[in-house]
C-alpha cells in the first residue's frame, strides 16, 4: 500500500488542515505504515495498531507541541512518532544511533516526558498543568494512560492529587482490556462494568443535551444522573476522585473521538475520558493473538509470525521463569508476584502452573 496522504504530514500542523474524510484515509495509511515498519524492524505492534485513531484525534484537537501530550505507555507511541516528523527514521527504530521505541525528550519537542512504562503520566501532566497555571500560560496537559498502567499505585497517587487541584488537565484512559498479557486485578473488573453500563452514559448524555437550555430542569437532570448512577452502575472510581468522567467511547471512531475531545478541551478542571480500543486493530492476526504480536521480531505481514524450525533462543526471562518453577517444586511456600502482566515478566510458566 502506498501512503500518499501520510507522506504529506511532516508535523501535526499538516494534519490539522485535513477534512474528517481525509483523516480517516490518514488513519488507514498510518495503520498500514505501522504494520510494515514494525514488520521490518521488530518492535511493539499490537498496542500501536490500537492507538492510530486516538493519536490522530489528539494531535488534531490539541495544539501540539504547545499543548502537552504525555504518553504513559511508551510502547503505544509509534503513530505519535510517525506523525511528529520521525516517519523516515522508523526504519532505525531501537537500533544503535536510531530512534527509541519510547518517548524521549531529546528526540523530539513533541515528546514531553521521557518514559518507558508505566503509570507516571498523570503525575507528569498534573505537574505541567499546575506549572502552566502558575506561569499564566494558556496550554493544555493531557495524559494518555493504558488500563494496565492505570492499575499501579503512582497513577492513583496522581488521581488523588489531580482531583482536588482544579488543574485544567485531561486524562485519557486507553482501555484495550489487555495489560501486555490478559489483565489482572480489581480495577479491570471495574472498567468492564463501566463498559457494560453503556446505557448509563447514553441516558445521562441524552438527558443533559435535551435539558441544557432549561436551567431548573438541568438541575433535575443532574439529580437523575445521580439516580441513574446508583441504579445502573455505581459512580465511577474516577468521579469519586473528583474527575469529570466521560465515556466509554469507541477509540477507533474519529467521529466520536474528535467532537468529544473538542468538548473536553474547553472544560475547566480535571477531566477524564474513557476510550475503548482493540489491541492489534486492523491486522486480523494481531487482533486474534495480541499477546504474540505484542512485541514480535521481524516478520512478513502477509504470512504473520512463523515458528522458527531451529531450537528457540533461550531468553533471560525464560531462564528466570524456569528457575522460579524449579525452586517452587522444592518449596511450596514460594510465591511469585507479577507486575500486572504475565508474559512480559519472568514468572510466565510459574503462573501457568498455579492458575
Ligand atoms: C509500576 C509498574 N508496574 C508494572 C509495570 C509493568 N508494566 C509494563 S507496561 C504495563 C502496562 C501495559 O498495559 P497497558 O497499559 O494496558 O498497555 P498495553 O500493553 O495494553 O498497550 C505494565 C503493568 C511497570 N512498568 N511499572
**pLDDT digit string, tens, across residues 270-298:** 999 999 999 999 999 999 999 899 999 99
Buried b (16+ CB within 10 A) or exposed e, 299-328: beeeebeeeeeeeeeeeeeeeebeebbeeb
Pick the more confident residue, 331 or 218: 331
Instruction: Pick 240 or 218 by higher pLDDT.
Output: 240
**Is 142:70 a contact under the CB 8 Å cutoff?**
yes
Per-residue pLDDT at 314: 80
pLDDT at 322: 84
Extract the C-alpha cell encoding 32. Answer: 498500514
60 against 324, higher pLDDT? 60
- Per residue in 204-232, pLDDT tens? 454 444 434 444 544 554 554 544 444 44
The whole-angstrom separation of Cα 158 and Cα 119 is: 9
CA distances from 187 to 146, 191, 244 (A): 12, 6, 18
pLDDT of residue 347: 58
Alpha-helix residue ranges (DSSP H) falling in 113-152: 121-135
Cell numbers representing residue 207 in the block? 438527558
Q: In the predicted model, is pLDDT for residue 123 greater than 60? A: yes
pLDDT of residue 200: 44
Phi first, then psi: give them for residue 118, nearest 5 degrees: -160, 170
DSSP conformational letter for 162:
H
Which three cell numbers, joined as nine digits, stand for 305?
509470525
Q: How many residues appear in the chain?
A: 355
Q: 126 pLDDT exceeds 70? A: yes
Q: Say what percent of the chain tops pLDDT 70.
A: 83
Task: For residue 4, give every residue at least 6 positions away whose Cβ sits within 8 Å of its Cβ, in sequence order, or none.
Answer: 29
Considering the entire predicted model, what is its pTM?
Answer: 0.85
User: Which pLDDT score, from 0 to 100, does residue 187 have?
Assistant: 83
Grade residue 303 by pLDDT with cuts at 50, 70 and 90.
very high
Find out whether 252 and 53 touch, Cβ atoms under 8 Å.
yes
Measured in Å, residue 330 CA sits from the centre of ligand 1 at 31
| Ligand 1 pocket, residues with Cβ under 6 angstroms | 47, 73, 76, 117-119, 146-149, 152, 176, 178-180, 279, 339-341
Name the residue with the closest Cα to ligand 1, atom 3: 339
The rounded distance, in Å, linking the Cα atoms of 192 and 232 is 13
List the grid coordinates of 158: 496522581
257-267 pLDDT, tens digit per residue, is 999 999 999 99
Range with the poorest average pLDDT among 84-93, 113-122, 175-184, 290-299:
175-184
pLDDT (average), residues 97-102: 96
Using the predicted structure, report yes or no on whether residue 91 has a pLDDT greater than 70: yes
Ligand 1 geometric centre to CA of 348 (Å) = 15
Which superfamily, per CATH, for 6-197+233-288? Thiamin diphosphate (ThDP)-binding fold, Pyr/PP domains (3.40.50.970)
* Eight-class DSSP state of 82: I
Q: Ligand 1 pocket check: which of 50, 116, 144, 339 to mutate, most ligand atoms within 8 Å of Cβ? A: 339
For helices 121-135 and 153-165, the axis angle rounded to 10 degrees is 30
Which atom of ligand 1 is closest in space to residue 179's alpha carbon? 13
Phi, psi of 273 (to 5 degrees): -115, 125
What span, in angstroms and rounded, lies between the C-alpha atoms of 8 and 344? 36
Residue 75 Cα to ligand 1 middle (Å): 9
Paired residues of 146 in beta bridges: 174
Work out the pLDDT band at 310, boundaries 50, 70, 90.
confident
CATH 3.40.50.970 range(s) for the chain read 6-197+233-288
Contact between 232 and 195 under an 8 Å Cβ cutoff? The reply is no
Residues contacting 154, CB < 8 A, separation 6+: 119, 120, 123
Q: Are 85 and 15 in contact (CB under 8 A)?
A: no
Measured in angstroms, how far is the CA atom of residue 145 from the centroid of ligand 1? Answer: 9
Give me ligand 1 centre to Cα 148, in Å. 5
Name the more confident of 189 and 52. Answer: 52
Ligand 1 nearest-atom number relative to CA 116: 25
> What would the grid cell of residue 284 be?
486480523
Beta bridge partners of 271: 170, 244
In a 3-state reduction of DSSP, which class is residue 274? strand
Amino acid at each position: 500500500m502506498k501512503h500518499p496522504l501520510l507522506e504529506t504530514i511532516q508535523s501535526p500542523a499538516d494534519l490539522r488542515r485535513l477534512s474528517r474524510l481525509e483523516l480517516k484515509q490518514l488513519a488507514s495509511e498510518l495503520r498500514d505504515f505501522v504494520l510494515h515498519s514494525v514488520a521490518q524492524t521488530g518492535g511493539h505492534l499490537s498496542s500501536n495498531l490500537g492507538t492510530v485513531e486516538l493519536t490522530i484525534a489528539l494531535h488534531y484537537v490539541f495544539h501540539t507541541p504547545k499543548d502537552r501530550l504525555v504518553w504513559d505507555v511508551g510502547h503505544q507511541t509509534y503513530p505519535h512518532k510517525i506523525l511528529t516528523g520521525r516517519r523516515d527514521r522508523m526504519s532505525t527504530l531501537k537500533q544503535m544511533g536510531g530512534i527509541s521505541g519510547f518517548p524521549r525528550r531529546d528526540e523530539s519537542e513533541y515528546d514531553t516526558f521521557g518514559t518507558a512504562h508505566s503509570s507516571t503520566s498523570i503525575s507528569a501532566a498534573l505537574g505541567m498543568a499546575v506549572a502552566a497555571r502558575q506561569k499564566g500560560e494558556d496550554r493544555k496537559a493531557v495524559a494518555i494512560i493504558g488500563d494496565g498502567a492505570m492499575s499501579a499505585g503512582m497513577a492513583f497517587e496522581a488521581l488523588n492529587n489531580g482531583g482536588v487541584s482544579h488543574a485544567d488537565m485531561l486524562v485519557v484512559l486507553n482501555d484495550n482490556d489487555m495489560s501486555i498479557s490478559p489483565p489482572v486485578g480489581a480495577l479491570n473488573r471495574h472498567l468492564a462494568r463501566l463498559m457494560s453500563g453503556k446505557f448509563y452514559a447514553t441516558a445521562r448524555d441524552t438527558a443533559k443535551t435535551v435539558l441544557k437550555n432549561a436551567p431548573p430542569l438541568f438541575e433535575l437532570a443532574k439529580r437523575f444522573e445521580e439516580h441513574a448512577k446508583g441504579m445502573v452502575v455505581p459512580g465511577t472510581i474516577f468521579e469519586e476522585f473528583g474527575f469529570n468522567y466521560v465515556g466509554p467511547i469507541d477509540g477507533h471512531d474519529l467521529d466520536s473521538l474528535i467532537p468529544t475531545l473538542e468538548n473536553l478541551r474547553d472544560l475547566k478542571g480535571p477531566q477524564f475520558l474513557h476510550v475503548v480500543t482493540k489491541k492489534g486493530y486492523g491486522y486480523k492476526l494481531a487482533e486474534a493473538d495480541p499477546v504474540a504480536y505484542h512485541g514480535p521480531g521481524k516478520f512478513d505481514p502477509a504470512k504473520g509470525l512463523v515458528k522458527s524450525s531451529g531450537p528457540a533462543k533461550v531468553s533471560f526471562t525464560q531462564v528466570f521463569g524456569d528457575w522460579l518453577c524449579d525452586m517452587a517444586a522444592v518449596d511450596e511456600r514460594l510465591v511469585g508476584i507479577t507486575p500486572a502482566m504475565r508474559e512480559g515478566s519472568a514468572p510466565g510458566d510459574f503462573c501457568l502452573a498455579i492458575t
